[in-house]
Amino acid sequence: MNTNGLSVLRRSFAATTGLQLRYLKQPPGPNFEDLQNYPNFDPERQHLLWEDISKKYGPVFQVKNNADSSMYFLSDASDIQKMFNITAKNPIRPFFDSFKLVREINESKFFDEEKLGILCQHGDEWWRVRSKVQVHTNKLQTIATYLPKMDDIAKDFVKRIDTLRNAENEMPENFMKELYKWALENVGLLSFNKRIGGFEGSEDSKHITEAADMIMKSIHECEMGGDKSWMYAPNAPFRALSENHDYLLRYIESEVSTCYEKLKNCNNVNMKSLNIIESLLLTPELTRKDVIITMLDFIFAAIDTTALTMAFTLYCLSNNPKYQMKLQQELDNVVGDSEQNLTPSHIRNLSITKAIVKESLRLYPIAYVQVRQTLEDSEIGGFIIPKGAQVMLRQQPMAKEETNFSRAEEFIPERWIRGNPMTKDWNHNMFAYFPFGFGTRSCVARRISEQEIYSLIARLFHKYNFEWKQKSLNPKSHLQLYPDLPLKFTVKERFP
């Protein structure tokens, strides 16, 4: 019997007999030291290694380190559903220890004990802040206050296309950097309450980009590199992480203070047009520090995720001219000649656009593994996973399984359009798709990031056609999934 057959049997046996946990075994899997012997071992493409191991051991496996730090992996939708459900009341997402430590030992003592922000905190302290922040990040009226400026950023990006193109209409090798600039400019609206001038290369934007870049690189070195001495005394990557983190903290602190002073001196606050910083500053249960830390967390969570989602969406569209045309027809019908600003009503009616982004995220989920920590010994897939274990939920392979999605390998956005006759009877397993996470711990800014992405797609494809003439991407995976080749799209005017 193959591993899949065995795993189905084991799962139903555990379910029907209600076996007590103590009779169950831990999932099988290799030792950490053996990983290098796998044929697909490539530190740059961890998702392929997990796939290899899963072929050998089945959809539930562990990578054994020692009893306390083994990692557990799931890639069966029903197991993942169970894992999300049993952790739903107190969802703990282990976060990078190096990042947490930077805050815990912050020299200026900015971080009060336990108040480390929604990205790395959990339990009551996490919920104290998260429950207040999401009121505003989910509120359509508040999100709409950013739309005109996000639209301006999208229009500025479109203007840049002309200056970036070479004689063959190709984007430059570093086009990904341009997408990072776009993402930073957008999150700057939230966190700094202003445009930072990234496209023009303002001094502020250069420093902020450099700091954000260094932070991501240093986290990667601290967490994935071999040298863990930073746990005991700061080493070079940890110092870089700490210095750049503190630079951004001070920058945001000053912007939030400016915002606070303005609010304090304003006699007549228009509650309907408050942005997120203002709304949070006026939330009695939050301190000014809470607001600053949240805005800092936004910077870390927003740039790569949004820029990479945009990159893969452009790639999918470039390879699917049929859907590019459908998208452009929709844009012509809904947005028209592009002279006027985008409005919430335009965004509401962009159904093909939305389906395209969803489908790109299915095939290229930026957060290719997501993590939860077990709260107690738990039965998953007929195995026991011990209390306190880190469980990696592998969404990427599930998207490619026919049992979860019909014609799984193909880019077919219609599968996301409700009532579409073509896809009505297709397999569509919602627990095999969670690009923004799950439940109360899911992405707090999902709607905001979607608005950014729809705005840029609307502006880009109204004017241009995109083509991909390079070889196919074979994405890499570190902290996130990202393209392995320079994004040299060929971009031509739609109406030359």
Q: In the complex, which residues of this chain contact ligand HEM (CB under 6 A)?
A: 93, 118-119, 130, 187, 190, 297-298, 301-302, 305-306, 309, 366-367, 370, 435-438, 441-445, 448-449
Which residue is it, tokens 């070079």?
236
User: Where is the binding site for heme, in residues?
Assistant: 443
Nearest distance from C-beta of residue 25 to ligand HEM, angstroms: 28
Nearer to ligand HEM, 187 or 399 (CB): 187
Nearest distance from C-beta of residue 235 to ligand HEM, angstroms: 27
DSSP state of 12: H
Q: Name the strand (E) or helix (H) holding 329.
A: helix 321-334
Query: H/E/C letters for each residue in 46-92?
Result: HHHHHHHHHHHHCCEEEEECCCCCCEEEECCHHHHHHHHHHCCCCCC
| CA 74/CA 86 separation, integer angstroms | 14
- The encoded tokens of residue 263 equal 């609010």
- The encoded tokens of residue 380 equal 């998953």
- The encoded tokens of residue 162 equal 């002309």
Nearest distance from C-beta of residue 93 to ligand HEM, angstroms: 4
Nearer to ligand HEM, 384 or 456 (CB): 456
DSSP one-letter string for 263-293: HHT-SS--GGG--HHHHHHT-TTS-HHHHHH
- The encoded tokens of residue 369 equal 């593994």
Nearest distance from C-beta of residue 298 to ligand HEM, angstroms: 4
**Plot region of 382 (φ>0 → left; ψ -120 to 50 → alpha; else → beta):** left
Which residue is it, tokens 């012509």?
332
User: Where is the binding site, in residues?
Assistant: 443
Nearer to ligand HEM, 186 or 423 (CB): 186
Burial letters for 51-72: b for 16+ Cβ neighbours within 10 Å, e otherwise?
bebbeebbbbbbbbeeeeebbb
Nearest distance from C-beta of residue 53 to ligand HEM, angstroms: 22
Nearest distance from C-beta of residue 276 to ligand HEM, angstroms: 9
Residues 52 and 40 sit within 8 Å (Cβ to Cβ): yes
